[in-house]
Amino acid sequence: MEPLPLHHCKVHKWQAIIHRIHAFIHCIALISIIYYRLSSIFLPAALPWLLVFVSEIFLSLLWLLSAAYTWRPVTRTVFPERLPPVDQLPAIDVFVCTADPKTEPPLGVMNTVLSVMALDYPPEKMSVYLSDDGGASRTLRSLRETWRFSRAWIPFCREFAVENRCPEAFFAETHDDGHGVEFLDEKQRIKREYERFRERLRVVGEEEEMDDANHQNHPPSIQVIGEGESGIDAANGSKVEMPLVVYVSREKRPSSPHHFKAGALNALLRVSGLISNSPYILVLDCDMHSNDPSSARQAMCFHLDPTISSSLAFVQFPQKFHNLSNNDIYTSALSSIFDVKWRGMDGLRGPILSGTCFYIKRKALYGMSITPKETDVDITKLRDSFGPSYQFTSSVTRSSMNGNADMVNSLLKETKSVASCAYEKDTQWGKDIGFLYNSVVEDYSTGFLLHCKGWSSVLCNPVRAAFLGSTTTNLNDTLVQGTRWNSGSLDCLLSRFCPLIYGLPRMPLLQCFCYTYLAAQPLYCLQVWCLAIVPQLCLLNNLPIYPKVSSPWFMIYAFAFISPLAKYLWDVVIIGGTTQTWWNEWRMWMIKSITAYFYGSLDAVMKQIGIRKASFIPTSKVVDEEQLNRYQKGIFDFQASPIFLVPLVTLTMLNMLALTWGIAKVLVVGRLRLDEFFGQVFVSFFILLVNYPIVEGMFRKDKGGISLRVTMLSALHAVILVTLSFIYFLPIKTKSLARFDKICRSDKVSTMNVTPTYSLRLDLISLFTIYYLEIIELHMYSYP
């Protein structure tokens, strides 16, 4: 009798059919627009026309790449109850990464450590490694206090089958219903222990506040926490098995590149390879605590499934967040990524590695092939790639070793050696082994290389979120984080691992499209900047860019505009989103295109030409209560860097001016026909409608509004843009006025076939008035 499957994969055929039909129809519309532009390219003002045309082409190409995400969406269901017995489950190493206790408060980090120490998995098969990349004594002391509290916390979680094993989140919940007196009494006891634990962490923070240690210049430090002590079951006083906890701080020197998070993870790979060497690894950011203790068993439903396990590299869980507001104005939920894009990629070769919340196979990170050959176990050759440590190189070909304190102490010197700066010299670390170093988005690069080697991945998206983290709740942090991500993405596009060049011969076409879209996404900045400026300046100078409303081509443009909006609304709704979510995501897409995409692209280009070095600024986990309060109320907080605000406000002002000018021309002067300029007027209107919070922010007087200094500076930039456009269009307008003057002076005016004298006089007066206004405009344009 064949064993029952450990998971089930469902293909959403009807959704796939709708996606494909829409893609086909939308492609026809885009091809028609390109034909229209090519047939009308020779115009007097060719440059604005050409800029808009190029923008439309690039938008079409990026849309084509993005269509691959929804080609074959799937969902998966797991059956943990069908897993083999506990003693047959493989061992797991857990990596938790932190860098600076000032931006990543130790209380949050230690809650994450506690939550993974209490996973519903055999403790003797688990080892938890905390990477402290800043080498801060505050973090080490906090981890020791965490171990002390965990001896009471973990037995409590196991005895009462607690579902939420992050203490901070657990005590924020109410458990008065459906629980016995024994549970409530024990909960109160543990809560008192937790309060004492928090107080000890506060004291440690105060004592270490004046710590002036250089977090970029320190020796390696590896320490076992707890020295093999067991937990104590309060019910009967018996000992409870605890997972191994190891503190790891790799060596960092100013003269040696440390490669940010990727370097820290590779150091953890080597240290853990010497100590526990578990075949599977869970990687978490320091703020991403376990929300479901069964996540390890869920992941094993894929890794141990014989139908896919041989080629499966990693199981990716979605990143979910506990501090989201109902409105989520900054679209920090990332639902469009995990619930739409990653679900679609799961139907291809699998989702992209996403930085945290994934269970990955150690063998895949070691750069081994899916089906290893005999040459793969040649230790001499392995040392050329993996480094000079014989003990570590030997561990590459061994299974897990169930590390303990005594083993770590015996290998202490060797673990410090593999965590040193010099160890990776002349090896393949960061190139073909471990997490790659070619970009600050090491997750994208590493996942891409794994898929190129034939490995696959799956998305596990259970009803209850497996992990919960904290996300950005203010505009500045959102844009800084986006700038870093987009800089790294474009780095990949410009590197030797460019998906279209390196990936095309090594992976399926649609999978390659998905990777290319993510890497090229920062280039949206060029098109959005262009479409937020050029049509508006042309409107101010009476130059049509789009077809007339009465033209059949206008309907094609209208369809090409409405089609992706409606399609994305459908994508959001079918995953449980709302129209408010859809609207917020469009707004943030525009804001990020102008700011984070632009500065990320600029940073990537500067790194490529050697002007700037790679940098990594961790997202701050420190909460500003005032900013958080505005976020919860759905109010934008514009306490952001002027480098982000000035471009946004400048373009908003330009579109306000263009819209006002267009409406005034139609209603007051009457010479500008709405039929001819409706497209440009509507573009300005739509931009202002979507970005209304920016307009509102300019008139707000509270602390979170846009400052007067930023507003005035933006107004100056808008005036400069308009002035430069007047100068550029002046020769064109001069020629037009000359032709108009010739018509006015010709005999055609006097021979108009108009019978009523009164009507003829009105026409002549109107013609003279318009001509006079044009002369005034010509003189206005002639002076700065």
The distance of Cα 755 from the centroid of its chain, to the nearest Å, equals 69
Q: Which two tokens stand for residue 773?
A: 């206004």
- In terms of phi and psi (left: phi > 0; alpha: psi -120 to 50; beta: otherwise), the region of 73 is beta
**Which amino acid is residue 656, in one-letter code?**
M
Q: Are 248 and 131 in contact (CB under 8 A)?
A: yes
Q: How many angstroms from the chain centroid is the CA of residue 102?
A: 23
Contact residues for 741 (Cβ-Cβ < 8 A; gap 6+): 771
83 neighbors 262 (Cβ within 8 angstroms):
no
Rounded to whole angstroms, how far apart are CA atoms 115 and 96? 11
Contact 662/680 with Cβ under 8 angstroms? Answer: yes
Contact 323, 474 (CB under 8 A): no
Cα 102 to Cα 617: distance, rounded to the nearest angstrom: 13
| CA-closest candidate to residue 277, choices 186, 397, 158, 152 | 397
Catalytic residue among 292, 305, 443, 571: 443
Could you tell me which residues come within 8 angstroms of residue 592 by beta carbon, excluding any fewer than 6 positions away? 479, 482, 486
| Nearest to 109, CA basis, from 118, 120, 99 | 99
Given 93, 120, 133, 285, which residue is catalytic? 133
Sheet containing 221-225, strands listed edge to edge, beginning at the edge strand earlier in sequence: 221-225, 244-249, 126-132, 92-98, 280-285, 358-361, 312-316, 456-459
Apex 9 CA angle, 6 and 11, nearest 5: 175
Please report how many Cα atoms fall inside a 13 Å half-sphere around the Cα of residue 148, on the Cβ side.
Answer: 13
Token code pair at residue 358: 């994934």
Distances in whole angstroms, Cα of residue 383 to Cα of each of 387, 395, 427, 435 = 5, 11, 8, 18
Long-range CB pairs of 633-638, under 8 A, 24+ apart, other chains included: 633/325, 634/325, 634/326, 634/327, 634/329, 635/329, 635/704, 636/329, 636/475, 636/693, 636/694, 636/696, 636/697, 636/704, 637/474, 637/475, 637/704, 638/475, 638/697, 638/704, 638/705, 638/706, 638/707, 638/710
Per the annotation, the verdict on 741 as an active-site residue is no
Using CA atoms, how far apart are residues 511 and 637, in angstroms rounded to an integer? 38
Residue 185 appears among annotated catalytic residues:
no
**Residues catalogued as catalytic:** 133, 443
